Amino acid sequence: MVLLTAQASAALPPIDSVAVDGLEADTVANSTEIWLTDEVLFNYQRCPRRVFLDRYGDRQHRASAPDYLQKLRQDSYLHQREVLSQASFHEPSYPKRDWVAGAAATTALMQQGVDRIANAVLQITLENGIHLVSCPDLLVKQPGYSIWGDWIYAPIDIRLGKRPKLDYQVAVAFHAYVLAAVQGMWAETGWLILRQRGTYGVSLVDVLPRMEEILQSCMETLLQQQEPEVFISHSRCDLCHWFSRCYALAQSDRHLSLLPGITPSRYVHLKALQLKTLEDIAIAPPKQLEPLPGFGAQVAQRLVKQAQAALQNRAIAHVEFPVSPTSPLLSEAELPTANVELYFDIEAAPEQNLVYLHGVLVVDRLTQTEIFHPFLAKCQDDEGKVWNQFLELVWRYPHAPIFHFCLYEAQTVKRLGEYYGTPSDLVESLLSRFVDLHERVTRVAILPIESYALKSIARWLGFNWRDSEANGAQSICWYDQWLTTGDHTYLEAILRYNEDDCRATYRVKDWLVQFTQLDIESFS
């Protein structure tokens, strides 16, 4: 770790401005007592609406945390304690969430000049009345000159993630921002300790301007009490405790964020053109959308057709090149039909780097049988054994195509083959039989659905999972609960879910065969 250089120091704001820079006077007048923590700022980066609802929303609409989110929190806590245990530290003692007492206890330790302070609390009050609260996982003493003497502290956050994502770096910059006001000196660098990557230095000179923009916007949202617009992004919304509330509003408004392909940035450009409804998009000339940033011809054409499919509640053929009107959208080689077909789905725990289930549905069209084969690792040491069992089954049918949904199965098979020393020619031969139905569906069909995930497509086709709330994240939780309790009901739930995934893949494949064989003019 290095000290702040003169050049870098000049690029950071003066220390005496850190605790007073806030909003303009006309918004300060509306201020109420607000405690803005690093957790609030982190959540704001993901979704401004969540932060607003956490403060002003009706608690009756707030759901309990999903099992998977609770597991992530527990895993994060264990990772933090593991990192902290590698060296001695001091920890401030204070009543839970009493930020004033926590800040006082932390300041006392900083005044003493202890080497490491875990779970610190730093607190300042801005002129607009907002209290900023920073809780870095660790403060580390360095040479320098603070208000206490010839030492300063630098902040460290311990994260479960694999990459130094921007929202992680912004959180570290926020710690440094509050810390600078408390100790009267900037640290040049903050730090992230990531689970797999290890230590990563965050350049405050580079990240601080972005952090200040986000902080300003967050304060405005909280002070002005204007509820942000709903925007559904399943990758960020699904684990939020306000999801059901926001999703219901989006559905009632037929919000454009429910249309596949509408990202937040694209939505801004569409609103600027007064294209605010499905009907607006459906009749828009693609040429009108093509010049917009992040669009282009392909995106523009697909979005217009996507809106048309949603309004008409039907599948529309998506053809990117000239095809004879009587030709199938996919060739036999691209979408084979065989006497025996295999449908393959994996369950894995990425944080443990563990594949714990290979599920294969064997469909024999000659004998009209469907047999599900689950290869389950009951502990981490069984991963290699079930990998070999999977190989034995698929090589039993050397000519059967293997249908899966998305790239994950093929990528995992390649990785496991390398890890367990499976001959590369055998793995390549196996992968040549793989057929990614997600790629085929999205290439040739536009469906009246909100997402091109397996569940959305299969449910549109009438397929239902036996456990309606089951998903990949829940499967990981069930497996963790199995390891903890030894209760076989968790394994049974995993097997039901995986078999249903395989059968859903089978349903999608059969529908896609029918769809691609029909005359293109029927869908144009």
What are the start and end residues of each CATH 3.30.420.10 domain in the chain?
340-522
Which 3 state secondary structure label does DSSP give 403?
strand
Taking phi over 0 as left and psi of -120 to 50 as alpha, with beta for the rest, 277 belongs to beta
Query: Cα-Cα-Cα-Cα dihedral of 262, 256, 313, 327, to 10°?
Result: -20
pLDDT at 329: 81
Q: What is the Cα–Cα distance from 49 to 62, expressed in whole angstroms?
A: 13
What are the start and end residues of each CATH 3.90.320 domain in the chain?
6-224
User: So what's the architecture of 254-313 in CATH?
Assistant: Orthogonal Bundle (1.10)
* Residues with Cβ within 8 Å of residue 439, at least 6 apart in sequence: none
pLDDT at 266: 94
pLDDT at 43: 95
Q: Note whether 177 and 18 are within 8 A (CB).
A: yes
Which CATH number is 6-224's, of 3.90.320, 1.10.760, 3.30.70, 2.60.40? 3.90.320
336-383 pLDDT, tens per residue? 999 999 999 999 998 788 999 999 999 999 999 999 999 999 999 999
Q: What is the Cα–Cα distance from 3 to 9, expressed in whole angstroms?
A: 10
Q: Span 340-522: which CATH code?
A: 3.30.420.10
Q: Give me the residue label for tokens 């290979």.
A: 358
pLDDT, averaged per 10 consecutive residues of the chain (524 residues), comes to: 36 52 35 86 95 94 89 90 94 92 97 96 94 97 94 96 93 97 93 91 95 96 92 87 93 92 94 93 95 94 96 88 62 94 96 93 97 96 97 97 97 97 96 97 95 96 94 95 95 98 98 81 46
Q: The whole model's pTM is what?
A: 0.85
